[in-house]
Amino acid sequence: MASSDVSYDTEEFERMPIGGHWRTGGSEGTRADTDPYRGGTLVEITLADAADVDEAYQSARAAQREWTQRLPAERAEVLRRAADVLIRRKDQVIDWLIHESGSTRIKAEAEWNATRADFLEAASYPYRVQGQILPADVAGKESRIYRRPLGVVGVISPWNWPLHLSNRSVAPALAVGNGVVLKPASDTPVTGGLLLAKILEEAGLPAGLLNVIIGRGSEVGDPIVEHPIPRLISFTGSTEVGLGIRQKSQIKRTALELGGNGPLVVLGDADLGNAIDAAVFGSFFHQGQLCIRANRVIVDAAVHDEFVERFVDKVRGLRSGDPAEAETVVGPIINRSQLESIQDKISRSRDAGAEILLDGEATGPTGLLLPPHVLLGDNNVPTAAEEVFGPVATVVRAHDEDHALKLANETEHGLSSSVFTRDIERGTRFAQLIDAGMTHINDQPINDQANTAFGGEKESGVGRFGGEWAIEEFTTDHWISVQHTPRQFPM
């Protein structure tokens, strides 16, 4: 059914893995999965319903009981083989990322690398799950703490980095012995879920352990969150939806990475060339459709004018166009609704007094190709006060270092951030005062390490992803005491 040149058998993705079998969903509705740049239909999927969600969770729980008994080496080997499958399927995976999510080839390569790193990092987790022996105040008694998998987890992933942001939860959850039910975003059902399931199936993952639900949020969203089987819901997406998930999840654990409004701060002593390069990348990589992007560029007044002149000149040279072409830096916005949201924020910022230094109309075969925009404004114009999620950079003038810090923290979000200075200790002191889960000194704010903590503060969510934090997220402690000698009781 494909109308573009994606090099994969698209008929494989008309079905989804539920209960150990690839089949169509039980809903009466269908969804056409389309190419945001070219507009063609890639695949049409019959959607899942609430009954499919129940079967998926029941299947994951049944398969998990055997999976958790596998030796660490067996679970690790599946994940290592998945990394090998990803290498063999590299061209196909990158094609799907380009055509389904609108990724430029540069971004698709980066996401492929990140997903492979996810698998390799997770392959070490079965050997890193550790227990404890604790002191006991009772003679002859031993207190043991065993770490074991939660059982089944639900994963809801976004469309912007679909393969990596799904696998960032799926691979660690599987590695430590859980079953998984995954719901990818409606705009990226293949790269966010079905393609990942195929890769793991080819790597030898037992049938029924990973189930993928493709369905409308209105039909399957609440059942995925409220179902009694999952012990944790891992969600990456908007703050509004995340807050709703936390309320509906009742006593389940939640791991939430939500919206961002990341500041990239340029202090007066910064290497401007380095700061400008990082600000361009942090603002416009993947069309700015990243929650950890540089949403605001806050520049000390001492270097503000020079920074703006050089920044605009560099942004003006970015090439927009067909994401399949290697030279393209800025590709299409994911859908019409998202484009209109970006344009609305730009329009309201203009009305609020922002100066637009660089703009342009949306073009391309589907009209979703929005060229880079650069605005000058204060911290209150909509493109600075709100998360834009598009190719828009707002430069904000700071009077001095103290003012820059105040501006950086004037947001309800606290995900990622950056600060540029030639004095590393000054930068470290500044970073420690930023209300964010991550701060990068002399680097762009988009995290590129698979084994690091990843999460936010304030309304940017709760939970950490990567390394020891991922192991802790997807496991639980079980205290078992052993009385080695007979004990005298007081009654």
Catalytic residues: 257, 291
Where are any strands of DSSP class E within 329-463? 355-358, 373-376, 392-398, 413-414, 416-420, 438-441, 457-458, 461-462
C-alpha distances in angstroms, 263 versus 316, 384, 407, 429? 21, 9, 8, 16
Assess contact for 144 and 482: CB atoms under 8 A.
Answer: yes
Secondary structure, 3-state, 239-267? HHHHHHHHHHCCCCEEEEECCCCEEEEEC
Pairwise CA distance, residues 394 & 349, whole Å = 10
CB atoms under 10 Å from CB of 275, counted, come to 26
Contact 256, 232 (CB under 8 A): no
406 class by beta-carbon count within 10 Å (0-12 exposed, 13-18 middle, 19+ buried): middle
3-state DSSP call for residue 343? helix
String of b and e for 166-199 (b: at least 16 CB within 10 Å)? Answer: bbbbbbbbbbbbbbbbbbbbbbbbbbbbbbbbbb
Q: Cα–chain-centroid distance for residue 354? A: 30
CA neighbor of 324 nearest in space, from 159, 140, 105:
105
For helices 272-284 and 304-316, the axis angle rounded to 10 degrees is 50
Q: How far apart are the C-alpha atoms of 242 and 92, rounded to whole Å?
A: 32
Alpha helices in 50-89 (DSSP H): 50-67, 72-88
Q: How far apart are CA 241 and CA 157, in angstroms?
A: 12
Give yes or no for a contact between 357 and 377, defined as CB atoms under 8 angstroms apart: no
Summary count for the chain: helices (H), strands (E): 15, 22
